[in-house]
């Protein structure tokens, strides 16, 4: 997604844009090996959806065409945090819920309507090409996936959007440059996903239900259920600190039953599975600090290749959209006549684009006792305590809940939760007596069958 969105921005400023893609792309919205996480849940947050609609006008119509449900946050989201079930209300924040493969298919289809964009399928980059001085990247060497038919591909600007498996650090070292410094926060979270057909007659007041962990009580399991296109549920179970959910059917069901609430288990126990259970464990937060690195000219690294997040928070695609906006703003300011210093300036902007998502994801992951990479500071601890009060306030206070949802959707920075208007409401709620965490629980169940008519 980072590559597709970057290509959309670049095509406005360059004569031609070439995407190098390792996979042979499917002809429809289907799974492909290059996106192993595509079988799992993907949240398109409000900020990301708005950016994509701006880049691809009419994308909302594609959501309607594919049958991706439209969802109003608060009104149609049942969210249980460590503070309890969030109060239900109409937040005015609307997004669509769809599978990753469907979204990527529609974005790629719209991108290829631009005649100056080409995708080279079944190709991969083997190394970077430089000028004689070794200070400027002038292209890449590409080859088939089997390592045959190697040839150079020259370009004015190279953008690496190859994800967590990017070889950029090694390529730079091969040219005599340093690899970037890394920041890693790993809560050892793993999750398992299964797809279900929504059972006939089932009625509920939500389109997405999430059940969060409760680190303060040692309950480190959570899960979620998403109503996506095709009248299907995508069900995810997650566990932190290496308490990974199993992929064997009976054990997976028992894991869901062990969550802090039975609501998810009660929803799916009568649903018909339509897929195997897929596991995923590559969930560390990893920031390659290219913004601190002395790099060759005309090279930019974006998306997960630059900064990847724990996928459980659903930030990845929205941050990819923010990365594309950062490129767009820089290109509009500087143009393409002289790209000297462009890479350094781009990475400085990308650092700002990813900062809020990084603080939110790592701040949450630092709650868990076995998290590796860094230890929570005093400020982290104080922030976590305040966020505990925020989560408690969400059960009763719509203003606090709206601010929380805006921050979750990356529409506002997390610091907005500390605004005095929000803080006094949070502190007021923190002083109230304990409440039932099952208040505001979702309403769900099977539609009662009509009694047969009896006549004489």
**Taking the CB of residue 133, how many other CB atoms lie within 10 A of it?**
7
Global pTM value: 0.94
Per-residue model confidence (pLDDT) at position 159: 98
Tell me if residue 385 falls in helix, strand or coil: helix
Q: pLDDT digit string (tens) for 9-53?
A: 999 999 999 999 999 999 999 999 889 889 998 889 999 999 999
Cα three-residue angle 122-126-127, rounded to 5 degrees: 140
Question: CB-based contacts of 442: which residues, under 8 Å, 6+ apart?
Answer: 78, 85, 204, 205, 206, 209, 263
Q: What are phi and psi of 228, to 5 degrees?
A: -115, 180
Q: Distance (Å, rounded) from C-alpha 60 to C-alpha 68?
A: 10
Cα three-residue angle 362-34-356, rounded to 5 degrees: 20
Per-residue model confidence (pLDDT) at position 439: 87
Per-residue model confidence (pLDDT) at position 148: 76
Per-residue model confidence (pLDDT) at position 456: 44
Q: Distance (Å, rounded) from C-alpha 387 to C-alpha 404?
A: 10
pLDDT by 10-residue block (mean), the chain, 456 residues = 98 98 93 90 94 96 94 98 96 96 95 97 96 97 86 98 96 98 97 96 96 90 96 97 96 97 95 97 96 97 97 95 98 97 98 96 94 92 94 95 97 96 93 80 81 52
Question: CB-based contacts of 200: which residues, under 8 Å, 6+ apart?
Answer: none
Sign of the four-CA dihedral 393, 398, 403, 408 = positive
Q: What 8-state DSSP symbol labels residue 13? A: T
Buried b (16+ CB within 10 A) or exposed e, 166-180: bbbbebbeeeebeeb
Q: Distance (Å, rounded) from C-alpha 375 to C-alpha 371?
A: 8
């Amino acid at each position: 997604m980072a590559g597709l969105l970057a290509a959309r921005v670049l095509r406005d400023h360059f004569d031609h844009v070439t995407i190098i893609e390792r996979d042979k792309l499917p002809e429809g919205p289907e799974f492909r090996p290059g996106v192993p996480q595509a079988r799992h849940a993907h949240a398109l947050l409000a900020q990301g959806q708005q950016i994509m609609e701006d880049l691809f006008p009419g994308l909302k119509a594609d959501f309607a065409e594919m049958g991706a449900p439209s969802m109003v946050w608060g009104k149609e989201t049942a969210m249980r945090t460590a503070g309890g079930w969030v109060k239900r209300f109409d937040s005015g924040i609307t997004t669509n819920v769809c599978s990753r493969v469907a979204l990527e298919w529609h974005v790629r289809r719209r991108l290829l309507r631009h005649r100056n964009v080409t995708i080279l399928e079944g190709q991969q980059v083997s190394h970077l090409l430089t000028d004689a001085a070794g200070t400027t990247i002038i292209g890449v060497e590409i080859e088939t996936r089997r390592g045959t038919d190697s040839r150079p591909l020259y370009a004015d600007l190279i953008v690496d959007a190859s994800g967590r498996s990017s070889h950029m650090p090694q390529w730079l070292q091969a040219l005599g440059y340093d690899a970037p410094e890394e920041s890693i926060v790993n809560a050892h979270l793993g999750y398992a996903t299964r797809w279900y057909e929504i059972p006939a007659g089932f009625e509920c007041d939500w389109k997405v239900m999430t059940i969060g962990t409760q680190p303060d009580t040692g309950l480190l399991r959570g899960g979620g259920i998403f109503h996506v296109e095709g009248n299907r549920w995508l069900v995810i179970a997650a566990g932190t600190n290496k308490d990974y959910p199993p992929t064997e059917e009976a054990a997976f069901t028992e894991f869901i039953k062990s969550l802090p609430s039975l609501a998810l288990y009660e929803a799916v126990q009568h649903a018909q599975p339509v897929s195997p259970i897929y596991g995923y464990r590559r969930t560390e937060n990893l920031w390659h600090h290219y913004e601190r690195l002395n790099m060759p000219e005309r090279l930019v690294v974006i998306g997960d290749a630059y900064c990847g997040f724990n996928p459980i928070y659903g930030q990845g695609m929205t941050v990819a959209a923010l990365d594309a906006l950062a490129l767009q703003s820089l290109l509009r300011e500087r143009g393409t006549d002289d790209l000297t210093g462009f890479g350094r300036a781009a990475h400085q902007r990308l650092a700002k684009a990813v900062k809020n998502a990084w603080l939110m994801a790592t701040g949450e992951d630092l709650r868990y006792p076995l998290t590796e990479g860094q230890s929570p500071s005093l400020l982290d601890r104080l922030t976590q305590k305040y966020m505990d009060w925020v989560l408690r306030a969400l059960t009763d206070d719509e203003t606090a809940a709206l601010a929380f949802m805006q921050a979750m959707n990356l529409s506002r920075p997390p610091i907005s939760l500390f605004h005095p208007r929000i803080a006094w409401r949070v502190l007021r709620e923190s002083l109230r007596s304990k409440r039932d965490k099952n208040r505001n629980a979702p309403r769900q169940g099977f539609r009662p069958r009509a009694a047969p008519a009896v006549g004489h």
